[in-house]
Every structure is written in structure tokens, then in C-alpha cells.
Amino acid sequence: MHSFLGQARHLVAALAFACATATAIAEVPTDRLIVRLAGGAPAKTKSAADRQAIAARLSERTGEAMRPLRVMGDGAQVMQLRRRLKPAEVAALVARAGTDPDILEIAPDRIIFPALVPTAPLHASQWYLGAANGINAPAAWDS
């Protein structure tokens, strides 16, 4: 069990490193927004009609058509836009949204690309990262 936890820590560290060294994260346009609701409202407290009403209010205020896509584990709503927006356009959209008593924060649902395969000396011994017996992480990292 101890060995598994050590390997899991290496995997988490490798993934964190890969994400931290990702290039041009801020430059990737997105067509999704994360809308965090006041009170950390769990998904069960907002009906589909409530989520649709929030999307309609935001669409009206921002001038960008959006619809509810899914609910995150913390109750935040992921809204689907009709087009991809650059980071500056997302910032302008958030400014146009103004204040809403039901909404704490609106943030882009960022797409993050890892930069490269880790070069740690023990990386080769981590069988669960390889293609033969594991998750084929290097193929994802090098894409």
C-alpha cells in the first residue's frame, strides 16, 4: 500500500508539473464559462428551470447567447456559449454581466495543455503511466 501511495504522489507531481509548465494557457479561446453561485449552492437546490433562467439573465446582460451545460460538483454552473471567446472578450463579457445576487463569480472554463513529459529519473519505473499497462500519459503529454 505504501508503494502505491508513493507512486500516486509521483503521478500527481508529474501532472502538476506538466500543467504548471503549460504554454499559452491564457491565449486559448473558450466557449464555456463557469458560473459560481452565491451560497455555494449544491446542484440539487437549482432546478433545470432555475439554471435556464440564470443563463437567460446572463445572455440578456452580456449580449452573448448561452445555455446551461452541466453542474459541477460544488454546484457551479457551466454555461455553453455559441462561440469561442478570447480571454479579453471573456473579461469584457464578465464586466457586462454586472452584479447579480445569485452569482459570486464568472470565470472562463480554461483549456489547459501540458507542456512535456517529465524527465524525472524514476519516471520510467512508473509502469502505470505507460501505454502497455497504464493510462498512456506520455501520449497525452506530448500532444
What is the DSSP track for 23-89? SSGGGS-EEEEEEEEGGG--GGGS-HHHHHHHHHHHHHHHS--EEEEEE-TTSPEEEEEEEEE-HHH
State pLDDT tens for residues 91-139.
999 999 888 888 889 999 987 766 676 777 887 787 777 777 778 777 7
State pLDDT tens for residues 51-98.
899 999 999 999 999 999 998 888 889 999 999 999 999 999 999 988
d(CA 110, CA 93): 15
pTM of this prediction exceeds 0.75: no
Find out whether 112 and 22 touch, Cβ atoms under 8 Å: yes
Whether the CA torsion 93, 103, 20, 31 is positive or negative: it is negative
Q: How confident is the model at residue 33 (pLDDT cuts 50, 70, 90)?
A: very high
Look at residue 98 and give its three-state secondary structure: coil
